Amino acid sequence: MADEIGIHDDGVLTAVRGTIFMAKADTIINAALLKQFTVDAATVGSGAGEAVWTNLGHMSNDNLPEFALDGGDATTLSTWLKASFRTQYDQTTGTVTFNSVQGDKGTFKTLYNAVDMTDAGVAFSLEKTPINKALFILWSDTNTTGRAGLLLPNTDIAFSSLPTLSTDSFVEFSAQANIKTSNALPHDAAGKFTSAAYFSPADFTAAV
């Protein structure tokens, strides 16, 4: 069974193509909706009683979404009776940085909190004001048609730099999402609040 540890060839993917979808915070993806996600889908979800996921468009092919964890250092405690009796871990925080190459007003209004100017252009502050959104990072292996994705239902997103210019690649617009725990997800096996959900290739092909 693919939900048990073992050799499962369909779980081996390369992230040849991918994109990021955004929806209101704490939006969850069910099995039926999951099958509608493709990298080139503009939106997923009907909006009639369910949230709409919007594709953020073209992302950098040179700088793919990058995940980082801070903290989580291990400390081994001993008792008077036994050495190395228990291991405990410091609190861990997580982020994901992504780079859009789509330099349109929509990108600036979404990531930079920009507003329309009177005649043309948009204006934005250099002081960050995060937006609270759910993100779904989807990747696809065009060699196998396999898909996988990471759902982050509760994130605070803000731009992380001004546009990065280049003469031999696309201009990039970088943002960082701070990953928070979500009440919409179940607790883990240890009873802890959870922050992310992974959808394997088998989830995309399983019968509903």
pLDDT, residue 153, reads 97
Output the pLDDT for position 7. 83
The tens digit of pLDDT for each residue in 69-95 reads 998 889 999 999 999 999 988 888 999
Q: Does residue 154 carry a pLDDT above 90?
A: yes
Place of tokens 């009796």: 85
Share the mean pLDDT of the chain: 91
Which region holds residue 54: left if phi is over 0, alpha if psi is between -120 and 50, else beta?
beta
Within the chain, residue ranges assigned H as helices are: 31-34, 105-111, 201-205
pLDDT of residue 130: 92
pLDDT tens track for 113-122: 999 999 999 9
SS (H, E, C) 18-53: EEEEEEECCCCCCHHHHCCCCCCCCEECCCCCCCCE
pLDDT at 1 > cutoff 60: no
At 99, the pLDDT band (50, 70, 90 cuts) reads very high
- Per DSSP, the three-state class of 203 is helix
Cα–Cα distance, 154 to 134 (Å, whole number): 5
